[in-house]
Amino acid sequence: MPLPHLPLDAITIGAHVDHWPAAITAAGDALVRSGAATSAYTDRMIAVVREFGAYIVIAPGLALAHARPGADVLADGLCVVTLAEPVAFGHPHNDPVSVIVGLAVAGAAAHLHFVAELANVFNDPAVIPALAGATTAEFVQSVFGQTAS
Amino acid sequence: MKIVVMCGIGLGTSAILKVNAERALERLDIEASVQATNVAGVRAAAADAQVILTSSELVDAIGKTNADVIVINNYFDVDELFAKLEIALGS
């Protein structure tokens, strides 16, 4: 199964945020814009980190913002937010974070397939620095193997 | 052999860790089942597991276990998984 479509309105380049909840909010806003989720999902993504800590920072500079499936997920969705200034999430090895990938999944079983695709993209260690330095949303799409069509 | 990968809610991050742990195990030529679980389910899932892979942030949530707990820093780095699993499982 390919990744969910990554439309241009699900990509934010160079967001200015002061702290990690604002960074996750920027990802939530992108998922709302693209029609994948409602703003309630944003609150649940923040709640996951408040409950379990910064474990969502799964690689140097990268946070995978997500929560469980729920009524606030309208469709499987992916978003990418890059930060103008990196922020700390509180992870001992992988801070500071400059790229947030937001994931909304409608069902737990189906998501396993496109998470494998996500792993394929990021197994290239050049990808996170490339995304962090992206200047256009079209470039971000191309990193994920997608075009505007 | 059973390996458990654990994240906070049991999907997303743990699914990525599962995919890449399976790639590392294949390279090591070790046959193992890799099960994704969450903080709430780890005690049951890991009862018969040899290894638990997780984030440094979640180690304290595991509690007592007989499994080896391995902290993975970069979930996308198959080389890191390979090296740490080789130490834990290698002869």
Interface confidence (ipTM) of the complex: 0.92
Question: What burial letters (b/e) apply to A101-115, b meaning 16+ CB within 10 Å?
Answer: bbbbbbeeeebbebb
State the pLDDT at residue B11: 85
In chain A (149 residues long), the average pLDDT of successive 10-residue segments reads 85 98 98 97 98 96 96 95 98 97 87 83 95 97 81
A103 contact residues in B (CB cutoff 8 A): 12
CA-closest candidate to residue A103, choices A90, A121, A86: A121
CA-closest candidate to residue A62, choices A132, A115, A143: A132
A119 and B76 within 8 Å at the Cβ level: the answer is: yes
Task: Give the pLDDT band of residue B88 (cuts 50, 70, 90).
Answer: very high
In angstroms, the CA A112 to CA A98 distance is: 25
Tell which phi-psi region holds residue A49, choosing left (phi > 0), alpha (psi between -120 and 50) or beta. alpha
Q: pLDDT tens-digit profile of B4-31? A: 999 999 888 999 999 999 999 999 999 9
Listing DSSP states for A51-91 in one string gives HH-GGGEEETTEEEEE----TTB-S-EEEEEEEEEEE--S-
Residue A31 contacts B where some CB pair is shorter than 8 Å: no
Q: Which residues in B have their CB inside 8 Å of a CB on A?
A: 7-13, 15-17, 19-20, 39, 54-58, 61, 73-78
State the pLDDT at residue A96: 98
* Number of residues written out for chain B: 91
Q: Are A91 and B73 in contact (CB under 8 A)?
A: no
CA-closest candidate to residue B8, choices A74, A45, A101: A45
Q: Closest chain A residue to B61 measured between Cα atoms? A: A52
Q: Does domain A8-134 have CATH number 3.40.930.10?
A: yes
* Spans of all domains in chain B: 2-89
State the pLDDT at residue B91: 58
State the pLDDT at residue A2: 74
Q: Which residue among B8, B57, B61 sits closest to A91, beta carbon to beta carbon?
A: B57
Q: Which fold has domain B2-89?
A: Rossmann fold (3.40.50)
In DSSP terms, A62 is beta-bridged to: A59, A99
State the pLDDT at residue A149: 52
In angstroms, the CA B55 to CA A8 distance is: 32
